Amino acid sequence: MGFTIFYLSAIVLIPLAALVARPWEHGWSGFWDTVSDPRVLAALRLSFGVSFAAAGVNVVMGVLVAWVLVRYDFPGRRIVDAIVDLPFALPTAVAGIALATIYGPHGWVGALVAPLGVKIAYTPVGIFIALVAVGLPFIVRAVQPVLQDFDAEVEEAALTLGAESWQRASQVILPAVTPALITGFSLAFARAVGEYGSVIFIAGNMPMRSEIAPLLIVIKLQQFNYAGAASVGLAMLVLSFAVLIAINMVQLAFARRGGR
Rounded distance between C-alpha atoms, residue 58 and residue 43, angstroms: 22
Q: At CA 41, angle to CA 38 and CA 43, rounded to 5? A: 110
**Orientation of helix 38-71 relative to helix 124-149, angle to 10°:** 40
> Which lies closer to other proteins via its Cβ, residue 124 or residue 137?
137
Q: Does 161 bind other proteins (CB under 8 A)?
A: no
Phi/psi region, residue 76 (left: phi>0; alpha: psi -120 to 50; beta: rest), is: left
Interatomic CA distance for residues 183 and 166, integer angstroms: 24
Q: How many residues make contact with other proteins (CB under 8 A)?
A: 96
Choose the binding region for other proteins from 28-36, 86-94, 111-119, 203-211 (rule: CB under 8 A): 86-94
Q: Using CA atoms, how far apart are residues 210 and 92, in angstroms rounded to an integer?
A: 18
Based on C-alpha coordinates, what's the Rg of the chain?
22
Closest CB 197 distance from other proteins, rounded Å: 4
Among 41, 90, 125, 172, binds other proteins (CB under 8 A): 90
Kindly indicate which of the ranges 37-45, 112-120, 239-247, 250-258 contains the residues binding other proteins, using the contact rule CB under 8 A: 239-247
Binding piece for other proteins, criterion CB under 8 A, among 29-37, 119-127, 192-200, 250-258:
192-200
CA distances from 197 to 66, 120, 210, 225 (A): 26, 18, 15, 22
The nearest distance, CB 101 to other proteins, in angstroms, is 6
The residue range among 38-46, 102-110, 120-128, 250-258 that interacts with other proteins, by the rule CB under 8 A, is 102-110
Site for other proteins in 38-77 (CB under 8 A): 61, 64-65, 67-74
Site for other proteins in 206-235 (CB under 8 A): 213-215, 217-218, 221, 224, 226, 229-230, 233
